[in-house]
Amino acid sequence: MSKRKAKETHVPVGECVAQLQKTLRERLCCGELPEKPEGVDAQHKHLLELLRRTALHGESNSVLLVGPRGAGKTMLLKSVLKELLKEKDVNKTLMQVHLNGLLQTDDKIALKEITRQLHLENVVGDKVFGSFAENLAFLLEALKKGDRSSSRPVLFLLDEFDLFVHHKNQTLLYNLFDVSQSAQAPIAVVGLTCRLDVLELLEKRVKSRFSHRQIHLLSGATFPDYVQRVQSKLWLPEQFPDQRFAHEWNNSVKALCEDKSVEDALQRHFNSSKDFRSLHVLLMLCLSRVTVAKPCIKPADVLEASRVCFADAKANMLHGLSILELCLIIAMKHLNDVYEGEPFNLQMVHNEFKKFLQRKSSTIYHFEPAVVMKAFEHLQQLELIRPLDSPGARTQREFQLMRLLLDTSQIMEALQKYPQCPTDVKQWAMSAFA
Amino acid sequence: MTGPLQHPGYDEEKLRKIAELLPCREVQAELLLSLMGQPEHRSYPAIFIYGHRASGKSHTINMIMKELELPHVMVSCVECLSVALLFEQVLLSFFGADAAALLPRGPSLSDFVRIYRQQCSDSPAKQTRYIVSIMEKAEMLRDTDANLLPALLRLQELVEDNVSVILLSEIVWDKFRPNTGCFEPLLLHFSDYSKGELQQILSKDRHPSYSAEFYSSYINILLGVFYSVCRDLRELRHLAALNFSKFCEPLEEGKAKESDTHKLWRNIEPHLKKAMRTVYLREVSSLQWEKMQEMEEKEAGAVRGLSAHTHVELPYYSKFLLIAAYLASYNPARTDKRFFVKHHGKIKKTNFLKKNEKTSNHLLGPKPFPLDRMLAIFHSVVDSRVAPSASIFSQISSLVTLQLLNQASHDDQLDAPKYKCAVSMDFICAISRTVNFDIVKYLYDFL
């Protein structure tokens, strides 16, 4: 409590927490660049050197950054660009064209975007919206006219590179790589992708023009690195307005990372995935529990957040089903057991369910077939069961073949957690052959 | 105040109002608010909320957004047939009509992002903007445009604005994930209402002229009947409103007092069970149901529901064609000789049982059959000689258009097309009774 008092004399806790939330949220949510990228020094140096050669010496290059999602490809590229732009000459001459495979879904849109980003619209006039061929010819002409020494270097940054591969004839890629191979305006093509087999997708002629320079971002982090990363993500910087609060916060983070139960939780996360994004989700959930009344992260918060992250979504959905729907799922499970994964239809499920009702003087009374069908359709809506053939009015609803998209252990676990589950239903589910 | 909702940056009075408006959703609202943070802070780029139907997903979001006056847009994926509509709605509510007018015809995602960025640099956001999209028909975001969902999830990064996309759905996130992966949203689960919570919420809209305990005991009885079948709050609320007048009937007639719970229960229980068979399945519309309750002498349920109108008037030969189709669909072809040839000799049933035929055909559904087989059975069940005229064939094709038969083979196959019979057992029994044909005698399953 004495700590608390000391803070209040300084800057109100409320402001401190608000400031803390602001700083950390910016770091976690929108990928604010860290001062120094961790663990990718070699890649950083390689890429920086490459882009610098394009920017300063007019060398044309092409490179692919490959790594799984959330491995820090964009972060690396951005930090390299930031460093590159610090240099005096580069800042004035280098031109950047950012393209994203998600947005520029075909070559025509991409071309428009390139023209726009190179500020060529006024040169082309209304030709931007002219034909594709014309536009391309103009752009290529503009690039061809340049040469190594005099024209400004252009950086093409292709995010989601693998989606550009699906464009018709890969025209854009062919032309970009072609320019980078021949003595025209100096350009560098940087592609970011998460597919390891991206080179197999390229056409032969495109592939031959690509420099085959790949930078892999495969996380080789060990668990201590991971914990270190957690700590650095939560660390408050020196420039924080209230030094004392920052100091206390940093101490509490340090203590948190050394806590045994937190370490176990982090180990679980580390085992399931090493990437930054899933870590961000976890930290974000922890951070959201920091309030004025409790201005630090407790181990219990981490455990709770970890529980939210690892929650089985299907089990959550099963928990909310009605008894009738649950009974149908158990009947499906029995059908799956008996007929070894053969698909089933509503009639069979209902038949199985009726057998159960006949055998046991159960607490559940008989349901009309139509009520059962309504429950069955609800299960289909929730996509817990999937029709085998393509949808259509071709077959009657009760004879449409279905497959169950749950496995036995999921069903049994859900049954244990189900609130007020009748005992006979539970026993029916347990019995191997109903 | 020790109330659950306390967040800096928001008006406390409003938060209290929200807490009142969201019964039994305090935990979820609390979590959501704390994730959203203060209005000027960054919010997580994408939040995916899932839960059962009527578990208060859109209601909670709606109340939070409306009461706190956050800049937001609600988009329903059922309404947005094309992405153009979605883009237009977003731009319209964030930047006004001028921005929406900038969209070209048939806009691509690229256009949308460009205009958004342009507008955004003119009027930078002071608060987090929220795009809430309700995915009642989730297939839309998944199927129409493969890029739409990944792009929406990364919208914050793409437009470089403080924007957050909230997705609401009944279906779990695993079914949405594209095969090359995407930005993983933060998953939140809205748990279902427990029985006690349902009771609490339903008891809120009580009738002013009766006491609260009386209404709550009514809800208790209602849940006792319907809870095992339906946990949908909206459906239950509808049923509660429909049947309440019946529950009050003994009170008004003076036969019982408010405290006579057992008597009231005796009165309402069969009625509710009947309601499950009728109103719950929309066999009778709510209006019809209300009318039926008024007519005292007429038993509820005596009015024929939708499915009672299955009787279809067909021409004589069409009836026999349908019967023949039913027999062809549900009998194995090897038994035709036994049923329809006069001197077939005696065949034991066990002799021609194949292993997979042991299960009843009425369980597996109709099998496809060629046209020839159906016509052969047709000629043997019809007493008189029928010429295979054009009218017979046209009747077959009109049975297909009436969806009493389904074409099982490809549409353009003219010779030897295959069909399946698509009528139920009850229907065909009714038909065969009108032509004095005992169909059960000819069905292999009922031998």
Q: Model confidence over B160-183: pLDDT tens digits?
A: 888 888 988 888 888 888 888 888
Is residue A89 pLDDT above 50, yes or no? Answer: yes
Q: Report residue B93 as tokens.
A: 């509510």
C-alpha–C-alpha distance, residues B129 and B71, integer Å? 5
Residue of A133, A143, A192, A203 whose CA lies nearest to A167: A203
Q: Which residue of B has its CA nearest to A368?
A: B277
Residues 6+ apart with CB under 8 A from A428: A330, A356, A360, A434
Sheet holding B46-51, edge to edge: B72-76, B129-135, B163-169, B46-51, B186-190
Contact B132, B100 (CB under 8 A): no
Q: In angstroms, rounded to a whole number, what is the distance separating the alpha carbons of residues B387 and B213?
A: 74
Question: Are A352 and A365 within 8 A, CB to CB?
Answer: no
The verdict on B352 touching A (C-beta cutoff 8 Å) is no
- What are the tokens at B347? 């065949």
The rounded distance, in Å, linking the Cα atoms of A161 and A8 is 52
Output the DSSP codes for A67-97.
--TTSSHHHHHHHHHHHHHHSHHHHHH-EEE
What is the spatial distance between Cα B443 and Cα B330, in angstroms, rounded to a whole number?
Answer: 7
- Taking only the tens place, the pLDDT of each residue in A126-175 is 555 556 667 777 777 777 776 666 778 889 999 999 999 998 889 889 98
d(CA A227, CA A280): 13
Is some CB atom of chain A closer than 8 A to the CB atom of B22? no
DSSP string for B87-114: HHHHHHHHH-HHHHHTSPSS--HHHHHH
Q: How far is B382 from chain A (nearest CA, A)?
A: 27
Q: Judge: B44–A163 Cβ closer than 8 Å, yes or no.
A: no
Return the pLDDT at A376. 93
Q: Using an 8 Å Cβ cutoff, are A157 and A99 in contact?
A: yes
Lookup: tokens for A293:
């009344």
- A7 — pLDDT class (breaks 50, 70, 90): very low
What pLDDT score was predicted for residue B298?
A: 55
The number of CA neighbours under 13 Å toward the Cβ of B142 is: 15
Q: What single letter denotes the amino acid at residue B292?
A: M
Separation between Cα atoms, residue B86 and residue B116, nearest integer Å: 13
The answer to whether A103 contacts B110, with C-beta atoms less than 8 Å apart, is yes
Q: What integer is the mean pLDDT of A392-403?
A: 80
Instruction: Pick A109's closest partner by Cβ from B50, B110, B365.
Output: B110
CA A139 to chain centre: 35
Residue among B181, B295, B290 at smallest CA distance from B239: B290
Q: In this complex, do B42 and A29 lie within 8 Å of one another by their Cβ atoms? A: yes
B310 and A CB contact within 8 Å: no
Question: Which H, E and C letters describe A346-394, residue by residue?
Answer: HHHHHHHHHHHHHHCCCCCCCCCHHHHHHHHHHHHHCCCEEECCCCCCC
Per-residue pLDDT tens digits for B420-437 = 998 988 899 999 999 999
d(C-alpha B405, C-alpha B418), whole Å: 10
Residue A99 has a pLDDT of: 93
pLDDT score, position A4: 45
- Whole-number Cα distances in Å, A162 to A192, A201, B146, B307: 8, 8, 14, 53
CA A425 centroid distance within chain: 40
Q: Taking the domains of chain A in order of start, what are their residue ranges? A: 2-14+221-309, 41-216, 315-432
Q: Looking at the domain covering A41-216, what would its CATH class be? A: alpha beta
Q: Per-residue pLDDT averaged across A240-262, rounded?
A: 88
Task: Name the residue in chain B with its Cα closest to that of A374.
Answer: B281
Of A252-266, A347-361, B148-162, B341-355, give the lowest mean pLDDT range: B341-355
Nearest of A156, A80, A85 to residue A118 by alpha carbon: A156
With beta carbons less than 8 A apart as the criterion, state whether B159 and B110 touch. no
Alpha helices in A169-242 (DSSP H): 171-181, 198-201, 204-209, 223-234
Distance of alpha carbon A19 from alpha carbon A243, whole angstroms? 12
Distance of CA A366 to the CA centre of its chain: 47
**Which residues of chain B have a CB within 8 Å of the CB of A288?**
31, 34-35, 37
Nearest chain A residue to B137 by CA distance is A381
Closest CA to A329 of A400, A398, A385: A385
**Mutation target vs A (from B5, B110, B114; most A CBs, 10 A cutoff):** B110
Per the listing, tokens 């004392």 go with: A244
Q: How far apart are the CA of B253 and the nearest CA of chain A, in angstroms? A: 32
**What is the pLDDT of chain A when averaged over all its residues?**
84
d(CA A51, CA A237): 30
Contact list, B181 vs chain A (CB under 8 Å): 69, 194
Which residue from A277, A333, A265 is spatially nearest to A305, judged by alpha carbons? A265
Per CB-CB distance under 8 Å, the chain B contacts of A396 are: 365-366, 422, 424
Q: How far apart are CA A161 and CA B53, in angstroms?
A: 39
Of B52, B150, B366, the CB nearest to A102: B150
- H or E segment to which residue A331 belongs: helix A323-338
Window 100-119 of B: residues touching A by CB (8 A cutoff) are 108-110, 113-114
Out of A361-365, A413-417, B246-250, B299-303, which region has the weakest mean confidence (pLDDT)? B299-303
Cα separation of B127 and B163, whole Å?
9
Q: Which residue of A has its CA nearest to B113?
A: A103
pLDDT of residue B142: 77
What the block records as the tokens of B373 is 């087989």
Q: Which residue has the tokens 């006491």?
A: B211
**CA angle A332–A337–A339, rounded 5-degree value:** 90
ipTM strictly over 0.85?
yes
Query: Cα–Cα distance between A285 and A287 in angstroms, integer?
Result: 5
Gap between the terminal Cα atoms of chain B: 75
Q: List the one residue out of A165, A168, A105, A111 whose CA is nearest residue A134.
A: A111
Tokens of B424: 């139920």
B175 reaches A (C-beta below 8 A): yes
Helices B233-253 and B212-226: crossing angle, nearest 10°?
120
Instruction: Give CA–CA dist A343/A354, Å, rounded.
Output: 19
A395–B365: do the CB atoms touch at under 8 Å? yes
* Best residue in B28, B57, B186, B329 for a mutation probing chain A (most A CBs within 10 Å): B186
Question: What average pLDDT does the segment A1-9 reach?
Answer: 43
Residue A87, token pair as written in the block: 């240099």
Are B43 and A29 within 8 A, CB to CB?
yes
Closest CA to A327 of A307, A356, A294: A356
A323-333: pLDDT as tens digits: 899 999 999 99
Contact B399, B321 (CB under 8 A): yes
Tell me which fold the domain A315-432 belongs to: Arc Repressor Mutant, subunit A (1.10.10)
Q: By CA distance, what is B366's nearest residue in A?
A: A399
Residues of B whose CB is below 8 A from A367: 229
Q: CA of A320 to nearest chain B CA: how many angstroms apart?
A: 5
Contact A396 B365 (CB under 8 A): yes
Out of B42, B188, B403, name the one closest to residue A25 (CB): B42
Beta-carbon separation of A102 and B151 below 8 A: yes
Pairing of strands B418-421, B46-51: unpaired
CB contact under 8 A, A102 and B403: no
CB contact under 8 A, A100 and B108: no
Indicate yes or no: CB of A288 within 8 angstroms of CB of B31: yes
> A82: which 2 tokens?
């930031």
Q: Which of A30, A194, A348 sits opposite B181 (nearest CB)?
A: A194
Please list the ranges in chain B whose pLDDT falls under 70: 1-6, 135-139, 296-305, 343-359, 447
**Cβ pair B149, B141 in contact under 8 A:** yes
> Residue A392 has which token pair?
């259509």
List phi, psi (to 5°) of B190.
Answer: -95, 110
Taking CA–CA distances from A346, the nearest residue in chain B reads: B363
HSE of B342 in the Cβ direction (CA atoms, 13 Å)? 1
Q: Which residue has the tokens 């181990």?
A: A299
pLDDT at residue A393, as a whole number: 55
Q: Given this model, what pLDDT does residue B1 score?
A: 34
The DSSP call for residue B417 is -
Q: What letter represents residue A229's amino acid?
A: R
